[in-house]
Amino acid sequence: MAQTALQTLKFIFSDRPDVLKLLDIRELDLEGRVDAEFVQAQSKRELFPEPVNFYATGRTSAGKTTLATTFIDPNQELAETIKAVLPRTGKTDCTWMTVFFQMRSNLRYFDLPGAGGCNETYENINRATLLLPQIDDEDEGLKPINEFELWNLSDYSTTKKVVKRVVSVTEWQAKENQQNVKPDIILYVVAPHRGFVREDGKYLRSLLRQQAKQSNKNKVIFALNIFYNSDGSQITTRENIEDSRQQIEKIFQEFYPNVPVPIVEVNCSTGTGVNKITELMCQMLPDNKIGNMGQVLQDELKSFAKKERSRRYRKALIYIASRLATCVVDQKLGDQDLLNEAYMAVADYGIRVFREEDARLEAEKELNDMIDSFAKQAKISRQEAIKKFVPDIEEDTVMESTVVGFKPKFKNVTIEEEVPDFYQETERVKRSAIARGSLGIVEGVVQVAASPISFIQGIVSAFGGMKEEDILGNKIHEQFDRDAYRNENLIKPTTRKVKRIQQSLDDIETIRQDVPKKIQKIVQKEQVVGQKSLQGGYPVVETILAIGLGIENSNSQTDVNDFEAIVNNGKSQVQALLGRFTDQINQLAVNYEPKQAEVNILKILEGALLN
Ligand SMILES: Nc1nc2c(ncn2[C@@H]2O[C@H](COP(=O)(O)OP(=O)(O)OP(=O)(O)O)[C@@H](O)[C@H]2O)c(=O)[nH]1
Ligand SMILES: [Mg+2]
């Protein structure tokens, strides 16, 4: 499991070699090795990563050996023993061989003979050890050396034995040997109250030239050893310190321009200020060597190493969390679930950094179950319904104007019509004899009456009760025609036109009213058609960091099988640090392009966890 998890991480961060480095290069080199024994052996070695070769150099009597004792024996428990064994010539206490002691966790402290001073050959031992050109100067009485004594004090505290060996310069400087003993840190100890003289400058240039030739990364730390009198008063003056600083800075910049000079003030006898050396060391050492610095150094200094290790560990967690936050929670990697693998890799990584391998193996079963359950939770919490608009029929009530009746509308029209009438006409009529006699009676009467109608009406009324029509049509003699013709006034029927006003139907008005009516309409309705997985967002960030920080916080006595408690503990910590960014992280993960989201989430996490 650990192997696939690490491979997964390697795959996810194949574009970020810096992250791979943070995860521990050697771990990832195990890729492809399935041999259980090999992995086990390799893991054990992890507890003691590659040795850190720490060399103390500088002029003779600067305080190198004194500082070494404070390293080996910070509590001064072995002070007398160490003093007894540390090299003395009898006349002086100059170191005349290369001494080294390997501490329990692989810090190898190399104490070198000083440059200048005690004996002609001592500086050349120093130079040969550090691969500097030796001095061959008859005038100075210096001859190159071919071999030197190497004293190993590593087991002295238990065996009381010093393992001495004479090594040839060729053997020491051989490539294979150098792979083991090549300096990781060179501490250049200066006693400023003695001044920084021309010889010091010469040696320092030689040292830096050699280092710069090998790597453009500086490995030299400068320690200004401030001397005190037994009454506590300071021997070294401010001017001494300033003078040494200036000289060192000037020379250093010849080889490493634009690099700040790593320079600290210490007291080699008491160890005061040595923590600053550790701090610089932690910054300068490669990642694969930083792992166990805390175990190497004296208690007072452990916190610095621990802090640095924790910072790098958190950085790795932050990188992993911000990238995983932008991946969808059900993403697969081959037939593996990316999320499960990433959680496992984080747990594995945390245990490897902070716990023992055996603990990891014991915890493996529980770890698997827990991790699966965390991944499941994330997958459930990061689901979103897929919605689609589909057509649907909906009933609606509308008001519709409807005809409810009709109303007639009239108007006055003038009608012209013909009515019966009469007119009078004179007509020449031939008379009969009878008619002539009878008519003589009334002749005179008729002559009087001139106007026809009024006259006739008068007659009518005189005849009393006779109807007008009875009389009409009768021929009335008005004039006599002596030649048996006479003119007769005749009343004839005719018509005349009269006008009258009549009401006529003009129009029929329709009466309408708004009446409610049910209609069916087609609408677009949102419908859930499935589920999709979202990007991990905050829940994934929280779990990754909770696993990582939980393991970091749990002390090695905690039962590693109570993994749930460890992670819950981490969760509370993460919630306190990041809870307020929940929405922001979720939005970034879902709405932004993954690379952009990752950069922004990274910024939030760094701000919250690394400050
Ligand atoms: N007062 C005081 N004396 C110191 C201090 N550091 C070293 N000394 C003394 O200086 C002398 C030389 O110290 P060492 O530590 O042996 O110096 P070194 O750099 O190892 O010298 P070489 O081995 O000759 O290169 C010793 O007598 C120490 O007691 C210090 O911080 N204060
Ligand atoms: Mg010494």
Q: Are residue 161 and residue 62 in the same domain, yes or no?
A: yes
The per-residue pLDDT of the chain, averaged, comes to 79
Which ligand sits nearest to residue 224's alpha carbon? 1
Helices 594-609 and 563-578 sit at what angle, rounded to 10 degrees? Answer: 100
580 occurs within a structural domain: yes
CA–centroid distance, 469 to ligand 2, in Å, is 178
34 occurs within a structural domain: no
Tell me the average pLDDT across 282-310. Answer: 61
Radius of gyration of the chain (CA): 63
Tell me the average pLDDT across 176-181. Answer: 91
Residue 318 · residue 610 · CB < 8 Å: yes
Q: Can you say whether the dihedral through the CA atoms of 364, 365, 369, 370 is positive or negative?
A: negative
Q: Can you say whether the dihedral through the CA atoms of 277, 283, 284, 286 is positive or negative?
A: positive
Q: Which two tokens stand for residue 155?
A: 């087991």
Quick one: pLDDT at residue 559? 58
Quick one: pLDDT at residue 52? 83
Our mutation pick for probing the ligand 1 site, out of 61, 86, 125, 233, counting the most ligand atoms within 8 A of Cβ, is: 61
98-102 vs 147-152, strand pairing mode: parallel
Atom of ligand 1 nearest to the CA of 87: 23
Strand partners, 512: 403
Which amino acid is located at 580 in the chain? R
Q: Are residue 241 and residue 329 in the same domain, yes or no?
A: no
CA–centroid distance, 187 to ligand 2, in Å, is 13
Residues with CB under 6 A from ligand 1: 60-66, 93-95, 113-114, 118, 225, 227-228, 267-269
Our mutation pick for probing the ligand 1 site, out of 55, 57, 59, 65, counting the most ligand atoms within 8 A of Cβ, is: 65
- Return the top range by mean pLDDT from 31-45, 76-90, 412-426, 553-567: 412-426
433 occurs within a structural domain: yes
Which amino acid is located at 531 in the chain? Q
Specify the pTM.
0.50
Helices 563-578 and 357-381 sit at what angle, rounded to 10 degrees? Answer: 60
Nearest CA owner, ligand 1 atom 8: 63
Quick one: pLDDT at residue 48? 34
Rounded Cα distance between 82 and 65, Å, is 10
Nearest residue to 317 via CA among 546, 595, 97: 546
Nearest CA owner, ligand 1 atom 2: 227
Which ligand sits nearest to residue 115's alpha carbon? 1
Nearest residue to 351 via CA among 321, 331, 371: 371
116 occurs within a structural domain: yes
pLDDT tens sequence across 73-113:
655 655 666 666 665 444 456 777 888 877 654 678 899 99
- Among 254-258, 268-272, 470-474, the minimum mean pLDDT is found in 470-474
CA distances from 384 to 10, 147, 338, 376 (A): 30, 74, 19, 15
Atom of ligand 1 nearest to the CA of 67: 15
CA–centroid distance, 83 to ligand 1, in Å, is 12
Nearest-5° Cα angle at 278, 272 to 280:
115
Q: Are residue 467 and residue 350 in the same domain, yes or no?
A: no
Q: Are residue 473 and residue 549 in the same domain, yes or no?
A: no
Q: Are residue 144 and residue 106 in the same domain, yes or no?
A: yes
Asked if the model's pLDDT at residue 471 lies above 80, the reply is no
Nearest CA owner, ligand 1 atom 11: 61
CA–centroid distance, 88 to ligand 2, in Å, is 9
Asked if the model's pLDDT at residue 547 lies above 50, the reply is yes
Question: In sequence order, what E strands does 431-533 have?
Answer: 476-477, 485-533
Tokens 């922001």, residue?
Answer: 584
pLDDT tens sequence across 345-398:
888 777 776 665 555 556 666 778 888 888 898 888 888 888 888 888 888 888
CA–centroid distance, 225 to ligand 1, in Å, is 9
Atom of ligand 1 nearest to the CA of 270: 31
32 occurs within a structural domain: no
For the residues of 99-124, what is the DSSP string, one character each? EEEE-TTSEEEEEPPPBSSS-TTHHH
Atom of ligand 1 nearest to the CA of 118: 24
Residue 517 · residue 399 · CB < 8 Å: yes
Q: Are residue 376 and residue 458 in the same domain, yes or no?
A: no
Q: Are residue 506 and residue 550 in the same domain, yes or no?
A: no
Asked if the model's pLDDT at residue 22 lies above 90, the reply is no
CA–centroid distance, 253 to ligand 1, in Å, is 28
360 occurs within a structural domain: yes
CA distances from 73 to 83, 238, 258, 297, 502 (A): 11, 30, 37, 10, 140
Task: Tell me the pLDDT band of 38, cut-offs 50, 70 and 90.
Answer: very low
Quick one: pLDDT at residue 372? 87
520 occurs within a structural domain: no
The shares of helix, strand and coil residues in the chain, as percent rounded to the nearest 5, are 50, 25, 25
Nearest residue to 226 via CA among 196, 200, 191, 261: 191
Residue 67 · residue 301 · CB < 8 Å: no
Tell me the average pLDDT across 139-168. Answer: 84
Task: Tell me the pLDDT band of 450, cut-offs 50, 70 and 90.
Answer: very low
Asked if the model's pLDDT at residue 54 lies above 50, the reply is yes
Rounded Cα distance between 364 and 344, Å, is 10
Nearest CA owner, ligand 1 atom 26: 61
Quick one: pLDDT at residue 241? 96
CA–centroid distance, 72 to ligand 2, in Å, is 14
Our mutation pick for probing the ligand 1 site, out of 67, 83, 93, counting the most ligand atoms within 8 A of Cβ, is: 93
- Among 114-123, 160-169, 406-415, the minimum mean pLDDT is found in 114-123
367 occurs within a structural domain: yes
H or E segment at 359?
helix 357-381
Range of the domain at 448: 399-510
User: Of 245, 274, 290, at which residue does a domain stop?
Assistant: 290
Using DSSP's 3-state secondary structure scheme, residue 260 falls into coil
Atom of ligand 1 nearest to the CA of 111: 20
Task: Tell me the pLDDT band of 313, cut-offs 50, 70 and 90.
Answer: confident
CATH of the domain at 265: 3.40.50.300
User: Of 476, 510, 544, at which residue does a domain stop?
Assistant: 510
The total number of structural domains in the chain stands at 3
CA distances from 128 to 180, 181, 212, 396 (A): 16, 13, 17, 100
Q: Are residue 116 and residue 175 in the same domain, yes or no?
A: yes
Our mutation pick for probing the ligand 1 site, out of 60, 66, 194, 199, counting the most ligand atoms within 8 A of Cβ, is: 66
Q: Which two tokens stand for residue 39?
A: 């992995």
Using DSSP's 3-state secondary structure scheme, residue 321 falls into helix
User: Of 290, 307, 331, at which residue does a domain stop?
Assistant: 290
Q: Are residue 371 and residue 404 in the same domain, yes or no?
A: no
Query: SS3 string of 295-339?
Result: HHCCHHHHHHHHHHHHHHHHHHHHHHHHHHCCCECCCEECCEEHH
220-225 vs 263-266, strand pairing mode: parallel
Residue 597 · residue 589 · CB < 8 Å: yes
Q: Are residue 477 and residue 546 in the same domain, yes or no?
A: no
Atom of ligand 1 nearest to the CA of 114: 25
Task: Tell me the pLDDT band of 291, cut-offs 50, 70 and 90.
Answer: low
**Would you tell me how many other CB atoms lie within 10 Å of the CB of residue 438?**
10
Atom of ligand 1 nearest to the CA of 191: 6
Which ligand sits nearest to residue 189's alpha carbon? 1
Atom of ligand 1 nearest to the CA of 63: 15
Q: Are residue 542 and residue 440 in the same domain, yes or no?
A: no
Q: Are residue 378 and residue 405 in the same domain, yes or no?
A: no
CA–centroid distance, 126 to ligand 1, in Å, is 17
CA–centroid distance, 82 to ligand 2, in Å, is 13
Using DSSP's 3-state secondary structure scheme, residue 57 falls into strand
- Among 120-129, 392-401, 410-419, 560-569, the minimum mean pLDDT is found in 560-569
